[in-house]
Structure formats: C-alpha cells, structure tokens
Amino acid sequence: MVNEDFLCSHILGELALSEVNQEFDGCRLCWAISEQGRRYPENTILFDMGDHVVIPAVGSLRPGYLLIVSRDHKRALATLSSEEIECFETQLQSLIERLAPVSDGWLAFEHGSSSSCPAPGCCVDHFHFHLFPVSHSESLQVVKCIESTSQRIGSLQQIPHLLTNRPEAYIVIRDAEGTIHFFHGFGFPSQFVRQILAAECAIAHEWNWRDYVLFDNVVETLRLLRTNGLSQRIVYFAHAIEGIPESEIIEEITAARNIFKQHCSGFEVTSMFELIGKSLAVSDVAPHIDENQLLVESEVRFLSASDVLVADLSREAWRYVGCLMEIVYAKQLGVPVVAVCGTSGIEHRRWLNAHVDYFAANLHEAAVYIRDLS
C-alpha cells in the first residue's frame, strides 16, 4: 500500500494489507472507515453524512482531494436504487457548497460498472466518488479529453437506465459547472480520470494510487480543511504511559480533554493511547510485526498530521523517553511544541529548550497559549 512515503512505513503498509485481506474480505475502503483504519491519519473521517462519509483520497494527487465513501459495502452508483442515488446527489451538491472555501471548482467522478457487469470497474469495488479541487480551466481541459466519447445527462439517476442489460464499465464526471458527462463501454485505461488529473498536476507517472499514496498531500488536505474551519484542529497529547495503570492514564486524558474544551473549543485532543492501545494486539493478524516499530511509525504519522504537540512532562523524577522523542520528531516535522513542566524544573535543560516553542506550568496555560496561536 505504501512505498514512497517519508517514514519508510513498510510496517504500517504491511499491517494494513494483512487487515484488509484477513478482516475485510479484501476491501480497502471497508477497512479505511473501520476502527482499525483510524490508526492511519489518511483515513480521517472529515464529514459524516450518515450513509456516506468523506475521507482524504489515497493517491492524493493534490491537496484537497477527497473521497465520498458509502458506510456499508455497496457497489457502484449504477447498482443503487433510484432513492439511494437521489439522496447521494443531494448530499454531493451540499458537500460541494460546503467545500467552497477550499476551492471554487470541484470535479466529482466515479469509475464504475453496471450491476450486470461481472468484473468490477477499474477502481475499487466499494461505492466511492472522487472529489477533486480544480480551477475552471482545468475542469474544461478534463472535459475536452472525454467530450468526443461522452454524453451529457441531467441527473445521476439516469445512469442505471442507460446501462440496462449492458454488462459494462462506465465513467461519470460532474464538472466544475455542474454538468454531468457520462460514457460507458469496455477497455478504459485503469483509473482513467486520475491519469488525466495526474498529468494536469505535472506528476503524470504517479497516477496509480496503489503505488503512490502521496501522504504529504493527505496531510495538506487535513490542514486545508482545518484552516478553512471545516474540521477540528488536532492537539497531539503526549504524556507518561508505560508502567502507569490504565485507569490513571484514561483519567489524565479525560482531564486534558476537558481543559482544552474549556479554553480552545476548536481543538480536539488526540491520544495515541486511545488510538493505538487496543490495536497493539496485532499478533493475530500479523504475528511477525515488530510492535515497537509499529507504535513509532503510527505515532509519527499522526504527529505529522497534527497542529500542535502538547507534551506533559510534569511528573517529577519521571524518566521521559517517548515524549522527548516525540518532541524531536515534532520539531523535525515543523509541528509547534508546547511542554508542560509543573515544578519539575525540566524546562532548564538545554536540549529541551532548543526544541520547545513554549513552556507552560500547567495544561490550562498550555491551552490558553494554543488558543492564542490560531
């Protein structure tokens, strides 16, 4: 799944693949929106529309690129009932309006296949619509590539009728003006629209999402939505964990969450203990995976997608190891660091000083500083 990412994430990629195959019957999207999938920031659910959710697109050719995915495993749009398509069409329209601060124009498209088509379309066989931010001239450019073979239709609801008794694949594109272009048949190149878009983005050879996750763009997508006020900002909360009773750790996380809610409501506290804790019992799925390495790769990935790191270093005489390493990674990744020191005196240590943007005496002070950052 992952092979070009900056964190040599082979363990994460390998674990994802084992899970997809062993627990989700080979469906990458069922996995992505499950609890297991949430260990990966690229599967962050950005909008929940009931029967559909929105996540960043994997193979993220450009920041802002999203996927609308059905919550249940369903096949392509052409296989849905007319009520389901009508409901989806309404949701798509309101989503595009909601996303206006991110981009004026959106290209919505699907590579699908009809219900009588035995082979799935050229993408993934789980209902998903691509939503891609474009300028109006780019949208025209894409339409030009397909114009000679496509027909214009008034509504997505026409699609099943156009494919009656035709076991075919199809492509549907809703351009930036809202016009819907439809064409069907056999033998489209794989991920056809993505190939056109990759060329538009000047990364023509990176069109295949299976080979190019483009994680940096995923992180940018998460940031884009946050800076436009469309999703919560993320505080990555690092604190003492190893050797501490679970009940005490949960109490600490709850207390931190309440303090942040009180001072900066636009921020959500992410606790790696909550996200990773349960899933560290991976031995059933992939017994050979090094859990320590998995822990580090997962945490660093989430850290890179967070807005700020708050490290609680306030326990006196505690040997902080994980937190200090997280601080170094955050500094390297350009994520601001706030350290909470209490009366431990740790803020006087030189190395720490060089890596921390702000020292707070307690979590309240840290939360007030973060509120004023934004």
Interstrand relation of 105-113 and 66-70 (parallel, antiparallel or unpaired): unpaired
Query: Which CB, 73 or 210, lies closer to Zn ion?
Result: 73
Go through 69-83 and write b for each residue having 16 or more CB atoms within 10 A of its CB, e for each that does not: bbeeebbbbbbbeee
CB of 209 to Zn ion, least distance (A): 8
- Taking CB under 5 A as the binding criterion, the range among 126-134, 174-182, 207-215, 264-272 that sits at the site for Zn ion is 126-134
Scan for tokens 């694949």, then name that residue: 169
* Residue sitting closest to Zn ion (CB): 123
**Adjacent-strand bridge partners of 70:** 52
Query: Which CB, 27 or 87, lies closer to Zn ion?
Result: 27
CB of 199 to Zn ion, least distance (A): 17
- Taking CB under 5 A as the binding criterion, the range among 95-103, 125-133, 140-148, 354-362 that sits at the site for Zn ion is 125-133
CA distance linking residue 221 with residue 323, whole number of Å: 27
Query: Which CB, 18 or 232, lies closer to Zn ion?
Result: 18
Query: Which CB, 132 or 369, lies closer to Zn ion?
Result: 132
Query: Which CB, 73 or 261, lies closer to Zn ion?
Result: 73
Residue 234 phi, psi (nearest 5): -115, 125
CB of 213 to Zn ion, least distance (A): 15
CB 219 within 8 A of CB 293: no
Chosen residue from 39, 52, 75, 126 binding Zn ion by CB under 5 A: 126
Query: Which CB, 30 or 131, lies closer to Zn ion?
Result: 30
CB of 183 to Zn ion, least distance (A): 16
Determine if 140 is a binding residue for Zn ion (CB under 5 A). Answer: no
Question: Would you call 180 exposed, middle or buried from its count of C-beta atoms within 10 A (0-12, 13-18, 19+)?
Answer: buried
CA distance linking residue 77 with residue 85, whole number of Å: 7
Of the candidates 109, 67, 123, 129, the one whose C-alpha atom is nearest the C-alpha of residue 197 is 109
Query: Which CB, 29 or 172, lies closer to Zn ion?
Result: 29
Size of the site for Zn ion (CB under 5 A): 7
CB of 164 to Zn ion, least distance (A): 23
Residue 179 phi, psi (nearest 5): -80, 140
DSSP secondary structure of 304-353: HT-SEEEEE--STT----HHHHHHHHHHHHT--EEEE-TTS-GGG-HHHH
Chosen residue from 61, 108, 117, 123 binding Zn ion by CB under 5 A: 123
Of the candidates 317, 323, 316, the one whose C-alpha atom is nearest the C-alpha of residue 337 is 323
Scan for tokens 């989430």, then name that residue: 302
CB of 121 to Zn ion, least distance (A): 7
- Taking CB under 5 A as the binding criterion, the range among 55-63, 116-124, 292-300, 356-364 that sits at the site for Zn ion is 116-124
Binders of Zn ion in range 200-259 (CB under 5 A) = none
For residue 167, give the 3-state DSSP assignment. Answer: coil
CB of 143 to Zn ion, least distance (A): 18
Query: Which CB, 88 or 320, lies closer to Zn ion?
Result: 88
- Taking CB under 5 A as the binding criterion, the range among 119-127, 156-164, 207-215, 304-312 that sits at the site for Zn ion is 119-127
Binders of Zn ion in range 19-78 (CB under 5 A) = 27, 29-30, 73
Residues found near Zn ion in the complex (CB under 5 A): 27, 29-30, 73, 111, 123, 126
